[in-house]
Every structure is written in C-alpha cells, then in structure tokens.
Structure 1
Amino acid sequence: MLEKTLVILKPCTLQRGLIGEITHRFERKGLRLAGMKMMQLTDELLSEHYAHLSGKEFFQRVKDSMMTVPVIVCCFEGVDAIQTVRTLAGPTNGRLAAPGTIRGDYSMSFQENIVHASDSPETAAIELMRFFKPEEIFEYKQATFDYLYANDEY
C-alpha cells in the first residue's frame, strides 16, 4: 500500500550543505517527492511536535537546535514509505548507525542526526497535517512508477 511520510531535513543538514545528498538518497530508492518547503520552526510548533519529549531534560535543547536556521520539510510517498525512510535514515544516534544509512554516513550525534522521520502511519498523518496544508502535497504519477513495483505491490 502506498504511504506518505514526513521527513524534516534538520538545521545541521542545511548548515552542512547536505540537502541534495539526502533528498537524492530517498529519490534514488524510489520514493516520490510529494511536497517540499523551507520553513522556520517556532517554539510553539516544536512544543506540539515534540510533546512526547516534554518531560525529558533535553526537551528545550532539541527545540533550540531545531530553530537555529530554517528546515526543509518533505513529504515522500511509496509502498511502505514510513519504514523505508526509517531504514534509510538508520538509528537515531548517528554514532551507532551503520555505514550506508543516512545517519551512519553523515552523523556523529544523537541530536544533530540529519533528519526527522515519522515512525508510524498514525504519526505520519498527524505530522504531515502539522507541517503541510493539503494543497502543498501533490498527487502525480512518477514516470518511473511502473518500473519500481510489481503491479500487485501497490
């Protein structure tokens, strides 16, 4: 089944000039870019987004880091897109991520770990609504679609 998922290219990604490298990884895998925009995150938006971390000692540090410069928010689509993105990203701690994953290749940090990726279909739906207006997510058939999947996979 086709899924949509949120990917946030974090401030560290922009500061290090890795936007193209990271989006390239997702596109080369076969995920379709359905939406993309640059935005400056606010404390209010991040408090909502990271509410599940509000009791942690590092909560404010994470929010502060995410507001240092704008981020790029992306919507990617594909069969099992949520798990595919998370597999490509690798574990949260970049020091523990295997070479070949995004974090394994580009991150040495638990926090400055290149991307945020939705962790479930429920979370992806909520996060996509949080960061995108409906008209900012586009439906179109990618020319390569019929060569990415068998006709009974989607």
Structure 2
Amino acid sequence: MMEKTLVILKPCTLQRALVGEITSRFERKGLRLAGMKMVQLTDEVLSEHYAHLSSKPFFQRVKDSMMACPAIVCCFEGVDAIQVVRTLTGPTNGRLAAPGTIRGDYSMSFQENIVHASDSPEAAEVELKRFFKPEEIFEYEQAVFGFLYANDEY
C-alpha cells in the first residue's frame, strides 16, 4: 500500500553536512520525495511532538538538541514507506544499529541519531500534519515509477 511518512533530518545532520547523503539513501531505495523544507523547531512544537517523553529526565535535553539549529522535515512516499524508512534508518541507538543502516553508518548516539522517522501509519498522519500544510506535500508521478514496482504492488 502506498504510504506517506515523516522524516526529520535532525540538527546534527545539518551540522555534519550529511543532508544530501541521507536524503539520497531514501531516494536511491525508491521512495518519492513529496515534501521538504527547512524549519527552526520551537519548544512548543517539540513539546507536542515528543509528548510521549515528557516524564523522562532527558526530555528537555532532547528538545534543546532539536532546536540547536534548523532541521529539515521531509515527506517520503512509497509502498510500505513507513516500514521501509524505519528499516533503512535502523534502531534508535546508533551504537546498536547495523552497518548499512543510516544510524549504523552515521551515528554513535542514542540522541544525536541523524533522523526521526514516523513509527506507524497513525503517527505518520499526525506528524505530517504537524509539520506540513496540505499544499506543501506534492503529488506527482516519477518517470521511473513503473520500474520501481510491479503493476500489482501498489
């Protein structure tokens, strides 16, 4: 099933000049970039986004890290895009992520782990609405679409 998912390229990704490298990993896999913009995240947005961590002692540290400089929010689309992105990304702790995954190749940290990726269709829907206006997500067909999937896969 075609899905859209949120990927946030965290401030550590910008600071390390890895934006092109990371986005190209998703594109090379065959995911379609449907939206992308640079944003300065705010405490208010991050408090909502990371509300599930609000009782944790590291909550403020996470928010501070995400506000250190701008981040880049992306919407990627593809068949089973949420799971595909999470597989490419690897586990949260970069030290435990397998080589070949984005975190396995570029992260030594639990927090400074390159990207945030939606973990379910429900989360993706909420998160995409949090970071994008409807007119900021684009529908278009890539010329290579017929070479990415069999005609009965989507």
Q: Normalization by structure 2: what TM-score?
A: 1.00
Deviation at 1:72, TM superposition (A): 0.3
Q: 1:97-138 CA deviation, whole Å, 9 max, x = no partner?
A: 000000000000000000000000000000000000000000
SS of residue in 2 equivalent to 1:73: strand
Deviation at 1:57, TM superposition (A): 0.5
Deviation at 1:62, TM superposition (A): 0.1
The whole-number CA distance in structure 2 between the counterparts of 1:145 and 1:55 is: 44
Residue in 2 that maps onto 1:10: 10
User: Is residue 60 of structure 2 the alignment partner of residue 60 of structure 1?
Assistant: yes
The whole-number CA distance in structure 2 between the counterparts of 1:143 and 1:23 is: 19
- The size of the alignment, in residue pairs, is 154
The whole-number CA distance in structure 1 between the counterparts of 2:56 and 2:12 is: 22
Measured on the aligned residues, the alpha-carbon RMSD in Å equals 0.2
Superposition pairs for residues 135-150 of structure 1, below 5 Å? 135-150=135-150
Q: Unpaired segments of 5 or more residues in structure 1?
A: none
Residue in 1 that maps onto 2:108: 108
Residue 23 of structure 2 aligns with an amino acid whose one-letter code is T
Residue in 1 that maps onto 2:129: 129
The ranges of structure 1 where at least 4 consecutive aligned residues each deviate by more than 4 angstroms after the TM superposition are: none
Residue in 1 that maps onto 2:26: 26
User: Is residue 69 of structure 2 the alignment partner of residue 69 of structure 1?
Assistant: yes
Deviation at 1:50, TM superposition (A): 0.2
Residue in 2 that maps onto 1:86: 86
The whole-number CA distance in structure 1 between the counterparts of 2:113 and 2:13 is: 8
The whole-number CA distance in structure 1 between the counterparts of 2:71 and 2:20 is: 13
The whole-number CA distance in structure 2 between the counterparts of 1:56 and 1:142 is: 42
Give identity over the alignment, percent. 86
The whole-number CA distance in structure 1 between the counterparts of 2:127 and 2:23 is: 19
Deviation at 1:68, TM superposition (A): 0.4
SS of residue in 2 equivalent to 1:91: coil
Q: Unpaired segments of 5 or more residues in structure 2?
A: none
The whole-number CA distance in structure 1 between the counterparts of 2:117 and 2:87 is: 10
The whole-number CA distance in structure 2 between the counterparts of 1:65 and 1:121 is: 26
SS of residue in 2 equivalent to 1:5: strand
Residue in 2 that maps onto 1:120: 120
